[in-house]
Structure 1
Amino acid sequence: MSLSMCPAGCRFLTAIVLAAAAVAVPHSALASGVVMIVGGLNHDADRAVDTDRTAVIVEPANRQSSSNMARDSRVIALTPLINEAAHNTGIDPALLMAVIDVESGGDARAVSPRGASGLMQLMPATAARHGTLDVFDPKQNIAAGARYLGQLLHQFGTLPLALAAYNAGEGAVLKYGKQIPPFEETLTYVPRVLDRYQRYRSVVQPQGRFLLVRSGDVLSRE
């Protein structure tokens, strides 16, 4: 069966198989070039989404499958670093994979038009606050992003609100009475991350004790 005929789940698993050999991603291998990407709001600001903040990129249908497989492969290749951050913060590694997937597509050199950088698209102030010296270093970026996401989970108590705060800013969630802000990008971002989270959970077997975030609740899992 050709990849073009393979269902979405099959393509996702194929991407994982292709990435299985990449058990680590050296920083030097990711250090060439800076890619401008779509999205990534200012996590430190309370504001609505600006139309000049994002660019709309539409891929031809025949390129979408290969693009998705490449993204899945890049994210899965980061598994050792993601597992380390998950172990240190208690965040489910599948959730970190989902955020990385949506934020940067697994591109460690990604930069948004407003300056959010790296795998988890951290703004400079957020990165510095969580101990990042080199925002383009995959290990540092994932570690800081995981700490920030853990902070938001504890602050807001549910995964959808934590994701909304990660995207639109903590102030925006507080401004709207601890509800998901009515920003078009945020309303798209939250379900997209949740969808990717479920997909990664189907193939990731976490080791140890992690926060389990499901149906809006933050629980614990042994």
Structure 2
Amino acid sequence: MRHLTFAALVALATVTAASDAAARGRHHQTGHVPAIVSHEAAKAGVPQRIAHAVIKTESGYNCRARNRSGAAGAGQLMPATARSLGVRNVFDCRQNIAASMRYLRAAINRGGAGCAGVSLYETGVGARPRCSAYGRRVMRSASL
């Protein structure tokens, strides 16, 4: 009887730990977030290496990330940008990454698939395309 009770406790602890990790946005440990990035990048027509480099740079694949300026989620979308892209919950991995890839596609369309275009992801697609330290960091991360 003790072994059954202990086994039940171990099973409960495992389930609880897994749900706690998911609630904290640690999906990247299971490969969940990178798979979403790959899927949404393909849908948006964004080069895979650039897409992954942006999400890695922005949040380290953390869907619960938030910064002081108010940007949130895996793609670190600002609230107004997220709303304009139809995101209802910035901490929903799929919504945030899908919107981030659409925004990155717009940035690349305007500034090209190099440093200047990637830099527009951070500065805003309405800004003048120019290579920034952010763009260089992303391009280095993408090995481009």
- Where on the TM-score scale, by shorter chain, does this alignment land: which range? 0.7 to 0.9
Q: Does 1:105 align with 2:34?
A: no
The 1:150/1:158 distance shift into structure 2, 3 A limit, reads same
1:157 is displaced (CA, Å) by: 2.5
Q: Does 1:124 align with 2:69?
A: no
TM-score in terms of structure 1 length? 0.50
Query: Which residue of the partner structure matches residue 164 of structure 1?
Result: 119
Q: Does 1:188 align with 2:143?
A: no
Task: Report if the CA contact (8 A) 1:127-1:144 is conserved.
Answer: yes
Query: Which residue of the partner structure matches residue 94 of structure 2?
Result: 139
Query: Which residue of the partner structure matches residue 155 of structure 1?
Result: 110
Residues 29-40 of structure 1 mapped to structure 2, 5 A cutoff: 29-32=21-24
Distance 2:19 2:51 in 1: 19
Consecutive unaligned residues in structure 1, runs of 5 or more: 1-25, 34-69, 181-186, 199-213, 215-222
The 1:153/1:75 distance shift into structure 2, 3 A limit, reads farther
Structure having the larger proportion of residues in strand: 1
Q: How many residues align?
A: 126
1:76 is displaced (CA, Å) by: 5.0
Task: Report if the CA contact (8 A) 1:30-1:108 is conserved.
Answer: no
Report the 3-state secondary structure (helix = DSSP H, G, I; strand = E; otherwise coil) of the residue aligned with 2:142: helix
Task: Report if the CA contact (8 A) 2:38-2:51 is conserved.
Answer: no
Structure having the larger proportion of residues in helix: 2
Distance 1:101 1:74 in 2: 13
1:125 is displaced (CA, Å) by: 1.2
1:190 is displaced (CA, Å) by: 1.4
Distance 1:83 1:32 in 2: 22
CA RMSD of aligned residues (A): 2.7
State the structure with more CA Rg. 2
Task: Report if the CA contact (8 A) 1:74-1:107 is conserved.
Answer: no
Distance 2:54 2:36 in 1: 14
Task: Report if the CA contact (8 A) 1:75-1:105 is conserved.
Answer: no
Query: Which residue of the partner structure matches residue 179 of structure 1?
Result: 130
Consecutive unaligned residues in structure 2, runs of 5 or more: 1-17
Task: Report if the CA contact (8 A) 1:115-1:123 is conserved.
Answer: yes
1:109 is displaced (CA, Å) by: 0.8
Deviations 1:26-66 (A, max 9, x none): 99843238xxxxxxxxxxxxxxxxxxxxxxxxxxxxxxxxx
- Partner amino acid, structure 2, of 1:94: R
Distance 2:36 2:113 in 1: 25
TM-score in terms of structure 2 length? 0.74
Task: Report if the CA contact (8 A) 1:109-1:136 is conserved.
Answer: yes
- Identical pairs, percent: 33
